[in-house]
Amino acid sequence: MESSQTTVLASSNAIVNGKLTPATIIISPSTGKIINVYTELLPENSFPAGTVCKDYSPKVLMPGLVDAHVHLNEPGWRTEWEGFETGTRAAAFGGVTTVVDMPLNAIPPTTTVENLNLKVNAARGQCWVDVGFYGGVIPGNDGDLKDLVREGVRGFKCFLIDSGVEEFPAVSTEDIAKAMTALKDEDTLLMFHAEKLPPISLSVGDAVLHGDAPLAPAGPLESYSTFLASRPPAFETYALAEIVNSAPVAPNLPLHIVHLSAVQCLPMLKEAQEKGVKITAETCFHYLALAAEDIKDGDTRHKCCPPIREKANSDGLWDALKDGLITTVVSDHSPCTPNLKLVGGGDFFQAWGGISTVGLGLSVLWTEGKKRGVDLVQISKWTSEETARQVGLLGRKGKIAVGYDADICIFDPETSFKVTTSEMHFKNKITPYEDKVLDGIVCETWLRGKQIYSKDVGFDEAAGPLGALLLEKRQQENETVAITTTLSDSSEDLKTSSLNAAGTVLEVLPN
């Protein structure tokens, strides 16, 4: 596609302004932004010669997904687990146009500006989609946090329990207070891996990740039920209580619970919000689609922390999403090499914890959601609009609206596919979704007005990775005027009109 050609994408089904509607989307060739949206299908002869017009009816035009929780692990030796090139390629396959990279498991972790710069340099030229970065909070780095905000991190993550990697230790109550004090006047987000070993517990606690013999749990180590019992909901409720109790240190600082899995947390979360605590929560595709009852002994592909719980728990998470108590759904893509995952039947207490999902999430969510009366508009809100809001990108990402990047996912909800290694574009082909049949296929992915992936022809290898690194300040939705126009509502003398936005003039011709 020539850069001088204006592009028009259209379909009888598009997600615009929170509803499914016919739409015609006009994209600037110079900026890759949306310069107008008409909530009707305009015929190709409405546009000047040379305009690239694509009508995808009846497929659904959706905002590109914003996956706000991904571990890409580069730089350092864990790049063999995942890297920017493979991780973002997998994202593009699944209609994800923006990912935000977690501060671990790269070496070094993103806990200082120097370490952030190493990560940014490693990412340059490798990313198939746009990439943002989180900073990390560890004991003793509270003096680095403001500088990381200035350099463009989109938020911070800390652990209240052993992270599993020695270079990213857990924080204490005192560390949390120091971080909150440092960030209390900053435009950022403080996120928590909200598990903590209660003061009195029969569980193995932190040792789950290491299988320390003196604390070995009761029951077979290859049994999923043994592992699940070792990581009870009390870990999450105890951690959440501590976070809420710490909130008054910085009452204006937004707080966020990553990968919430236990429904026992939901009443606590609701009560905190009703009391004015600025706290939100996300859950993950695997907590919504997988159930403990279905996990076979030794199938360590399912190991993650917090763990996948029972089906009744999953039902409660779906209800919380529908009610708006949980606001976002993310992948928490956290891969490793096959030897660490112990594929083929293994010890849940020795296997690395993490689920590989990036690029499969939209189909996973649609497969499960439609059984529960959930539509694509709701799914888009949880995976695009609200995730963009979470990381300060709403106004640029997460919607099909004027002024936004033309990040578009073309999705066919009526077809299905079986997950084989050919659908796993992440580096290590290990996922609990292998051999499962998922409904809905991403047909094309567009990033800032350019097609980067097509089901029919694959990735645009000639153009190569076009992803940008998102290091600008956080922004809010009201910084961009997102207007949807219906051409048929305009007066006849506007039927021929010039649309001048983002540096491009396009004349809509009379029919």
CATH number of the domain at 120, please: 3.20.20.140
70 and 54 co-located in one domain: no
- Structural tokens at position 102: 């977690």
Separation CA 265–CA 313 (nearest Å): 11
pLDDT number for residue 496: 30
Per-residue DSSP letters for 150-197? HTT---EEEESS--SSTTSPPP-HHHHHHHHHHHTTSS--EEEE----
- Structural tokens at position 34: 């949306």
285 and 341 co-located in one domain: yes
Tens digit of pLDDT for each residue in 424-483?
999 899 999 999 999 999 999 999 999 999 999 999 999 999 999 999 988 766 544 333
Residue among 120, 118, 253 at smallest CA distance from 180: 253
The answer to whether residue 39 sits within a structural domain is yes
237 and 304 co-located in one domain: yes
266 and 171 co-located in one domain: yes
30 and 164 co-located in one domain: no
Angle in degrees, 0-180, between the axes of helices 233-246 and 173-183, rounded to the nearest 10: 50
392 and 480 co-located in one domain: no
pLDDT number for residue 5: 84
Residue 47 structural domain: 7-61+450-508
Q: In the chain, which stretches have pLDDT less than 70?
A: 1-4, 200-217, 344, 476-511
The answer to whether residue 76 sits within a structural domain is yes
Separation CA 399–CA 478 (nearest Å): 13
Q: How many domains does the structure of the chain reveal? A: 2
User: Does an H or E element contain 414, and which?
Assistant: strand 408-418
Residue among 125, 73, 134 at smallest CA distance from 100: 134
pLDDT number for residue 498: 34
Separation CA 194–CA 171 (nearest Å): 11
The answer to whether residue 118 sits within a structural domain is yes
- Structural tokens at position 300: 């360590």
The answer to whether residue 271 sits within a structural domain is yes
The answer to whether residue 19 sits within a structural domain is yes
Roughly how many angstroms between the first and final C-alpha of the chain, as a whole number?
A: 26
**CB crowding 72-106: b at 16 or more within 10 Å, else e:** bbbbbebbebbbbbbbbbbbbbbbbbbbbbbbbbb
159 and 274 co-located in one domain: yes
pLDDT number for residue 243: 98
